[in-house]
Structure 1
Amino acid sequence: MVTEQHSQELAQGAQQLGITLSEQQHAQLLAYLALLIKWNKAYNLTAVRNPDEMVSRHLLDSLSIVPYIGDSARWLDVGSGGGMPGIPLAILFPEKQITTLDSNGKKTRFQTQVKLELKLANLQVIHSRVEDLQPEQPFSGIVSRAFSSLEDFSNWTRHLGDQQTRWLAMKGLHPADELVALPTDFHLDSAQALTVPGCQGQRHLLILRRTA
């Protein structure tokens, strides 16, 4: 269950990240956390079993990339799993269209339940393999969190973006070896070290773009 301690940790962590949460956003993030804790027991949505670790390792980790979302209006979260970072982004940016994609039916069923219970009209949940997805138009941003190597992330999602698209790869250690293997039509636009409140260990965000 979600406790007052979780609520305080979320509020303080968001503040440390420079993010102002409305009362509704704060409540929605905690409601999402409550569903995650409840469903994780049966569905194995995340390897993090301790609810006390979920605020920092899931919610605040997802929110740490908020400064890099920018004006991009249509985002795809690939290999979204339990809905991170896609669902927290949908809560924070109700004006943006957020799509989450996962090939695991249990995980997309959970995400669909979250969408219904939290009334997230801007969230679209898709149960599919990434290579089978054929969107009507390119996404303006594509994000993945510990989904795959940069090489696979680029190759598997190439058809989902264009020269205007930004690819955001959330990583732990700075993946110098993966950057060497980046496909020739992609380049590193920027690399950011992220500080996630309450998280031990390194976190990095790598922003990729297609080379014209």
Structure 2
Amino acid sequence: MNANDTPLPPGVADDLQRGLHAMGLGAALAPPLLAYLSLLVRWNRTYNLTAIRDPREMVTRHLLDSLAMAAHVESGTLADLGTGPGLPGIPLAIAHPQLQVTLVESNGKKARFLREAVRQIGLGNARVAESRAEALDEPGAFDALTARAMDTLAGIIEVGGHLLRPGGQLLAMKGVYPYEEIAALPAGWQVAEVRPLQVPGLAGERHLVVCSRR
């Protein structure tokens, strides 16, 4: 723990441990996840990185929600588009040391936070690209793209589709089953599958939509 760490309220660590256990993830992930959460809570007071202020709510709606897709991406290269304060990219990088994560974020305050988080947690498998997704000049560089709260499927493909290698996949986090978005996919793209996700403590539906080029 760093001297700058913000003490987290009682119950936060227990909530995280219970959630990790329910998702079949190892307890060893808890210390780096809590270090990240502590940093996020501290920076959020000044920089307004996320509208969620309660650390216990952050455990469910940020950490566990991000980790719900951990089983679906374990290695290779991943670009997290419009990552904001690092969601789901940082939890995924913590969960999978073999996964090379590029955190794509154009907002300067959020990019500064991301660089500090990567440095403090010691995430050697994560880097920050301070850029809009459509301006990132790394065509075909990634095995997977993800976007958690960034746009419709068509919108994500429009700004980030160029980043995917042939055979790569878009892994989009959605709430209810996105029938209309799937129907509006651009020509040349298809849905490979839609997987329901279980997030401990989270009411409402979550789905992972897996898209690829035809």
TM bucket by the smaller chain? over 0.9
2:60 matches 1:79: no
Counterpart Cα distance in 1 of 2:21 and 2:194: 23
- Cα deviation for residue 163 of structure 1 reads 2.7
For normalisation by structure 2, the TM-score amounts to 0.93
- Cα deviation for residue 3 of structure 1 reads 3.4
- Cα deviation for residue 136 of structure 1 reads 6.4
Residues 45, 82 of structure 1: 8 Å contact kept: yes
Q: 1:115 aligns with which of 112, 115, 118?
A: 118
Q: Which moved more, 1:127-136 or 1:166-175?
A: 127-136
Counterpart Cα distance in 1 of 2:158 and 2:17: 38
Q: Which residue of 1 aligns with 2:198?
A: 195
Question: Over residues 66-109 of structure 1, what are the superposed CA-to-partner deviations in whole Å (9 max), with x where a residue is unaligned?
Answer: 11114x41011000001001001111111221110011111110
Query: Which amino acid letter does the alignment assign opposite residue 41 of structure 2?
Result: I
- Cα deviation for residue 138 of structure 1 reads 2.0
SS in 2 for 1:165: strand
Sequence identity percentage: 40
Q: Which moved more, 1:130-139 or 1:34-43?
A: 130-139
Structure 1 gaps, min length 5: none
Question: Over residues 120-143 of structure 1, what are the superposed CA-to-partner deviations in whole Å (9 max), with x where a residue is unaligned?
Answer: 111101110111101265200111
Q: 1:19 aligns with which of 21, 25, 43?
A: 25
Residues 192, 212 of structure 2: 8 Å contact kept: yes
Task: Provide the alpha-carbon RMSD of the alignment.
Answer: 1.2
Q: Which residue of 2 aligns with 1:37?
A: 41
Query: Which amino acid letter does the alignment assign opposite residue 71 of structure 2?
Result: P
2:63 matches 1:50: no
- Cα deviation for residue 5 of structure 1 reads 1.1
Cα 1:27–1:146 shift into 2, 3 Å: same
Structure 2 gaps, min length 5: 1-6
SS in 1 for 2:166: coil
Counterpart Cα distance in 2 of 1:143 and 1:136: 15
Counterpart Cα distance in 1 of 2:140 and 2:174: 27
- Cα deviation for residue 35 of structure 1 reads 0.6
Residues 162, 210 of structure 1: 8 Å contact kept: no
Query: Which amino acid letter does the alignment assign opposite residue 152 of structure 1?
Result: G
SS in 2 for 1:140: strand
Counterparts of residues 22-171 of structure 1 (less than 5 Å): 22=28, 25-70=29-74, 72-135=75-138, 137-171=140-174
Counterpart Cα distance in 2 of 1:49 and 1:69: 28
- Cα deviation for residue 182 of structure 1 reads 0.4
Consecutive aligned runs of 4 or more in structure 1 exceeding 3 Å deviation:
none
Q: Which residue of 1 aligns with 2:4?
A: none
Residues 41, 55 of structure 2: 8 Å contact kept: yes
Q: 1:178 aligns with which of 158, 181, 197?
A: 181
Work out the number of aligned pairs and report it.
208
Residues 102, 129 of structure 1: 8 Å contact kept: yes
